[in-house]
Chain A
Amino acid sequence: MKNKSTNTWVLAEVIRGNLSPVALELLFIAKKLAKETGDKVCAVLMTNDKKDFAQKLICHGADIVYVAEDKCLANFDEDIYSQLLTDMIKAHTPNIFVLPATSTGRSLSAKTAILADTGLTADATDLQIDKETKLLHATRPTFGGNLMATIMCEVKRPQMCSLRPLTYPQTECDKKRKGEIVNFKVDAKKYKSNVKFVSFKELEDNEIDICASEIIVAGGRGVKDEKGFALLKQLADSIGGTVAASRAAVDNGLMPYRCQVGLTGKTIKPKLYIACGISGQVQHMAGMSSSDVIVAINKDAEAPIMAQAKYALVGDVFEVIPQLISQLKSK
């Protein structure tokens, strides 16, 4: 697919009837890229109920919103979504297409890249337009955060990438902004699916989505027990954060697997990561080293995490955390 189009697309995910806030982060970077390429910024909506989302995306920076609305899009069906998205790509041949590196976004982008016959960069944390070639340079952490790699897709179009949530801020809303809404006809009969949605179970109270939080308070073996994690929860609550854990804490049954940070858990990029009683082994660092600010609280000044954190506090978590909580409360 040689490209003549001058559009930069973002996928605006609708998850259980809500527009994902990550869409507004993607619009932020799409606008920045479009300044360099001269592209128009377009958002793609696939949903069974579009509500006022298209208008919202326009207010937040989209020039065009492509809307595919059909009842077959009620739940995320990778077969249908990927075929539909491929048809939309073929009809409009975007230059660049940025998708969210959420769990659904990652597998959807991978499947669609093959169907649409183009290259895909995974889980990027920085997007730039090369000054000379005007090509997208997508940079991503690899080897457990130890090596950054910049990836390019020279010939095929669109230049696809998934972008890690919380990498960029959300665009502001401008109620007066004008844009175009283009309906994309969904020919539901055309799309075969080999997937049947059975049910969805919401997170339990102790299971939170750590990827969506700007502040993480993480506990490791040093936090010892449920009482320790209850303290972390209090600390997290007092600063609008979310509790996560090292593998040692998850394997000891103190936290659910979905809160595990690291090589065999999740890779996250919060603004603030407070590591409590975590030694900072490479497999843990692999999941959080790209956090904006890392604070480490450990009783061992020589623990590896202390050298890699921006702020290192030597102390016993059971003494330090209660004091942090009371100090944060006082103004």
Chain B
Amino acid sequence: MKNIIVCIKQTPKSDNIKIDPATGCLIRTGAESAINPFDEFALEEGIRIKERLTAQGKTAVVNVITMGPPQAEAVLRTSVAKGADKVFHLSDIAFAGSDTWATSYALSKGIQKIGNPYIIICGKQTNDSDTGHIGAQISAWLKYPNSSFVRKVSELGDANITVERLVEDGTDTINLSTPAVLSVVKEINKPRIASISGRISAKTFEITTWTADDIKADKTKLGMKNSPTKVVKSFTPKREANSIVIEGATSKERANNLVKILKENQYV
């Protein structure tokens, strides 16, 4: 049996992110949460890999894991509606405030508890803290190979897989032995919409919830206190207070004026 493990995070809906300019804090009221946008592609790829393996006559299971507060359960239910077979929620006050070092440690322990992974799939990055670290860091804790920026999973062998990854100047094709960790970009697929029956069964689906003790995590590696990095301060970026509207009676005149400004300021 092949265990596909998809990591997803609950984050604020992307068009709902509002920061209080005075305090620099996220305004939570009315802020809806959802699956992190990139994780939709990770989940979809997990389901597609299962379908491809099934077509090869193999059995595969899509496991979804999230670490987060109790309300993060919602994204696991959405995953079930889309086709996840098993869902796991790492939820414990001990995890709170973890940086990427500690988060990736906790997730790696959760993955070990699920056991026997074939492929672990993450999104490229989140839309809140947005580090893009977690996939590569999970791979480091577990000593598995990793590929970030994956745009295609081209071959699924028993002991290794072939993927295409985007780099600045082109595309690498690389072969990774399994278990392997992948972080995927949007280009990889087009996520499906949950079926009605999926949505109905998701409502009552049993979620496995694990604490730090359940996954045998070393508590000196968890939480804000044990994280090597700290957020010292946060603030809203300075935006152009007033934008300058380019003058001119016709499009042509305005274009001429813009060129003048660009040249005067040596922007071009």
Residues of A within 8 A of B (CB): 15-16, 75-76, 78-79, 82, 102-104, 106-108, 110-115, 118-123, 137, 141-156, 193-203, 209, 211-212, 215, 239-240, 257-258, 260, 263-265, 271-272, 281-283, 286, 289-290, 293-296, 301, 306-316, 319-321, 323-324, 327-328
Inside 8 A of B186's CB, which chain A residues have their CB?
257, 260, 264-265
Using known A-B contacts A148-B234, A272-B268, A295-B258, determine if residue A311 contacts B243 with beta carbons closer than 8 Å: yes
Best-surrounded residue of B130, B176, B180 (most CB of chain A within 10 A): B130
Contacts A82-B140, A106-B132, A145-B237 known; 7 new A-B pairs at CB < 8 A:
A107-B146, A119-B101, A122-B130, A142-B129, A142-B234, A198-B174, A311-B246
Q: Are B14 and A313 in contact (CB under 8 A)?
A: no
Inside 8 A of A310's CB, which chain B residues have their CB?
240, 243-244
Residues of B within 8 A of A (CB): 12, 14-15, 17-19, 24, 26, 37-38, 99-101, 104, 127-137, 139-141, 144-149, 151, 160, 162, 165-177, 180, 183, 185-187, 227-237, 239-240, 243-246, 251-252, 254-256, 258-259, 261-262, 265, 267-268
Give which listed residue, A141, A153, A197, contacts B174 with CB less than 8 A.
A197
Give which listed residue, B139, B169, B254, contacts A320 with CB less than 8 A.
B254
User: Chain A at the B interface: mostly helix, strand, loop or mixed?
Assistant: mixed
Closest residue on chain A to residue B142 by CB atoms: A114
Inside 8 A of A258's CB, which chain B residues have their CB?
166, 187
Q: Are B140 and A114 in contact (CB under 8 A)?
A: yes
A14 CB to nearest B CB, Å: 13
Give which listed residue, A115, A212, A264, A327, contacts B37 with CB less than 8 A.
A264
Using known A-B contacts A282-B17, A315-B251, determine if residue A114 contacts B141 with beta carbons closer than 8 Å: yes
Q: Are B268 and A239 in contact (CB under 8 A)?
A: yes
User: Chain B at the A interface: mostly helix, strand, loop or mixed?
Assistant: mixed
A328 CB to nearest B CB, Å: 6
Q: Are A146 and B256 in contact (CB under 8 A)?
A: no
Inside 8 A of B240's CB, which chain A residues have their CB?
294, 308-310
For the complex, what is the distance from the CA of A246 to the CA of B147, rounded to whole Å? Answer: 26
Inside 8 A of A319's CB, which chain B residues have their CB?
251-252, 255
Q: Are A148 and B268 in contact (CB under 8 A)?
A: no
Q: Are B234 and A327 in contact (CB under 8 A)?
A: no
Q: Are A141 and B132 in contact (CB under 8 A)?
A: no
The 14 sampled A-B contact pairs (Cβ below 8 Å) are: A106-B133, A107-B136, A110-B134, A113-B137, A114-B101, A119-B229, A142-B130, A193-B145, A194-B177, A215-B268, A271-B267, A296-B243, A308-B239, A313-B255
A98 CB to nearest B CB, Å: 15
Using known A-B contacts A142-B128, A146-B17, A323-B251, determine if residue A209 contacts B172 with beta carbons closer than 8 Å: no
Q: Are B234 and A198 in contact (CB under 8 A)?
A: no
Using known A-B contacts A282-B14, A328-B268, determine if residue A79 contacts B171 with beta carbons closer than 8 Å: no
Give which listed residue, B174, B180, B231, B258, contacts A149 with CB less than 8 A.
B231
